[in-house]
Amino acid sequence: MPMLDELRLKTGQLVTEDWFDKLVDYLEQLGYGGIISLYGYVMKDLVPVEDMLINLGVPLRNFKEIHVGTAHIKEAGFINGKAILKDGDPITVEDIGSSAQSKIQTAVSGGLDDSADIETMKTTLTSIDTSTSNIKTNTDKLDITLSSHKQGIVDELNNVKAKLDQLANAFTYTFKPILMGYVIEEDKDDGVDIFPSDLVLQFAGRVRFKMSFHYNVYAYVKHRASGSTIDVISLLNGGDPIPFNAWHEFDFTGMDGDKVNLRISPSTRVTVFVYNIPNT
């Protein structure tokens, strides 16, 4: 991957094809070589620079869903502002299990004769079941929240990819000729537009006419500036006839939105290619 300093231009320095190759490599590395790929895949561990320093979301900017295999909570977990596994004072499944085990052993050792102990055991077991259900519910909510957060990250990365694609397309069209129209071995009449509809420049720069004829001809460019309603028709080649059976190229300066066409005199068979070459 090129260093960023390699892409810094000095005053008067020419912009070369090698410079653009390095720029494209740098942009590709930004999109594919980071921690998160353009397609939303996390390629490396996400590790904060310092323990207990960085937040994942803030109170008014929450991730919607989070999906994980195992969640380790160091201090406390909250759902809708309430601590997980809290009903009054904080409790743990281990505390409930120890209490239940003690009461079951007491009931068994007493032959289950004490109905009060039996009822207490039933109440405790019911409490265990309720707490277990609460754990499952809270876990499901956490799973949904993590899933939502992941989708949000994927959407953002897709937006970044779309912008990078637009940037790449802009570079492509800025430095390559664009074929506006052509005719190959067609008979054209004297003084009639060669193209049925005027050709419109997409980018400011040059119009290049590449042509060959079966007879010596005078070639005229019809030009209408963007926003104008007037066609200006003038000769190419300094007003001299263009020799037949040979390729000839002529450049013509234009702005985006300008319209051009070509005419010949006398009638003959023609081959013409017209390109829009953007400014570099």
Residue type present at position 271: T
In which residue ranges of the chain is CATH 2.60.120 found?
Answer: 178-278
Q: Which helix (H) or strand (E) holds 79?
A: strand 78-79
For the CA atoms of the chain, what is the radius of gyration?
Answer: 38
- Please state which of the four CATH numbers 2.60.120, 3.30.43, 1.20.1440, 1.25.40 is assigned to the domain occupying 178-278: 2.60.120
pLDDT at 111: 52
Using DSSP, state whether 63 is helix, strand or coil: coil
Please give the chain's pLDDT, 280 residues, in tens.
Answer: 566 677 787 888 888 888 788 878 777 776 666 677 666 777 778 888 888 888 888 888 988 888 988 888 877 777 777 777 655 555 555 555 666 667 666 655 655 455 666 777 778 778 777 877 778 787 777 777 777 777 778 888 888 888 787 666 655 555 689 999 999 999 999 999 999 999 999 999 999 999 999 999 999 999 999 999 999 999 999 999 999 999 999 999 999 999 999 999 999 999 999 999 998 6
Nearest to 190 by CA among 224, 217, 225: 217
How far apart are the C-alpha atoms of 79 and 112, rounded to whole Å?
40
